Amino acid sequence: MRNIKMTIKYDGSRYKGFQRLQDNDMTIQGKIEAVLGKMTDEPIEIIGSGRTDMGVHAYGQVANFKTNSEMSLKKMKAYLYEYLPEDIVVTNIEEVDERFHSRYNAKSKVYLYKIYNNEVHDPFLRKYTNHITRKLDLNLMKEASKELLGEHDFTSFASSKSKKKSNVRTIHSIEIQENNNVIEIYVEGDGFLYNMVRIIVGALIDAGLRRKSIKDIKYMLEAKDRTVASDTAAAKGLYLYKVKY
């Protein structure tokens, strides 16, 4: 039995998230499994490094699957490229140790959030950025982000749907940069709770608009109460950027 690791890039605009739904294949996982099943003539279930929500994109989602197929990696990649929808591309494929698990073996993940910060929206970026009309203060956002670094209980930054036993996570870094009115926020951590990155971004937006102070951000963490934290930023600005092993 071979264990195959894939790196996947996708535009999540028209999908109901990564995880396959029982009654609908309009998911990233559903589309890939359908193509792999035809390719190998086997029932295939892929294991993703994490679940991305409806409308969320990926530059570097990682998944693995097991198969008895003897098809070469080169032919597998070519087959996937030909038969997957144009908004899903397997950018790399390799054979790995049978014990490799895309989710459990991940050391950290990097998420990217994009904001288009301009008075009027860009029609060509509207599906891939969160449009904020008021000018954001990047220096305030960077100062606020420092409060979130390190190990914390992120209960305030998790959706009420999150069912993890522990809400303690470690944020390794938050980098914020701007180019041509597009603000990019890179968040790297050892793991993330449901909607955690989008709520963090919501808090940083509030800081950048001077709606929340640095003390407010600190209080959000200490309160361990979702109701005191900022709103969840729009899904369309979020990308799973990279998974590190």
25 Cβ contact partners less than 8 Å away, ≥ 6 residues apart: 31, 34
Q: Which of 25, 53, 87, 137 is catalytic?
A: 53
Please say whether the beta carbons of 115 and 185 come within 8 A: yes
Contacts of 113 (CB under 8 A, 6+ apart): 130, 184, 185, 187, 197, 198, 201, 233, 237, 238, 239
**In this structure, how many other beta carbons lie within 10 angstroms of the beta carbon of residue 195?**
21
Phi-psi sector, 5: left (phi>0), alpha (psi -120 to 50), beta? beta
- What number of CA atoms fall less than 13 Å from residue 84's CA on the CB side? 24
Q: What are 171's strand-pairing partners?
A: 150, 189
Q: Which tokens sit at 19? A: 């995880």
Positive or negative CA dihedral for 98, 101, 104, 110? positive
- What's the CA gap between 49 and 242, in Å, rounded? 10
Residue 6 bridge partners (DSSP): 63, 93
Q: 84, 35 in Cβ contact below 8 A?
A: yes
Which of 41, 17, 40 lies closest to 28, judged by CA? Answer: 17
25 is catalytic: no
Q: Which residues are catalytic?
A: 53
